[in-house]
Amino acid sequence: MQELKTILSSNVNNVNKITNSNVITFKTTGIEVHRIASYIADKLQDHNSINFFCKVAWQIPEHKLILMLEQAMTGRSPARLFTWLCTQELSREDPL
């Protein structure tokens, strides 16, 4: 137990000396965007809106899209509700 405490305390001192971060940022590729958009189109049974789904898949993280999709599926018109939720999310995000 003492050895673990020594290791942890020595690692804490080294954290500030790291010059670059090893955190991997997720970058959505075209293949991922198409996969997500196709999934949304299948769930909503609306393949005519695939271009819009690609746009939102490119700009909104997948986990948020899935949550919005689940929320939209409980409404009377899931496709319209999903479109509205995505539009609200897109207007909320800060421009790069």
Is the pTM for the entire model greater than 0.85? no
**Of 10-19, 74-83, 86-95, where does mean pLDDT reach its minimum?**
10-19
Tally the domains of the chain: 1
Residue 69, domain extent: 25-92
Q: For residue 20, tell me if it sits in a domain.
A: no
Q: For residue 11, tell me if it sits in a domain.
A: no
Residues 6+ apart with CB under 8 A from 56: 37, 40, 65, 86, 89, 90
Read out DSSP for 4-32? Answer: HHHHHHHHHHHHTT--S--PPPP---HHH
pLDDT computed for residue 29 by the predictor: 79
Summarised one tens digit per residue, pLDDT across range 15-37 is 444 455 454 445 667 889 999 99
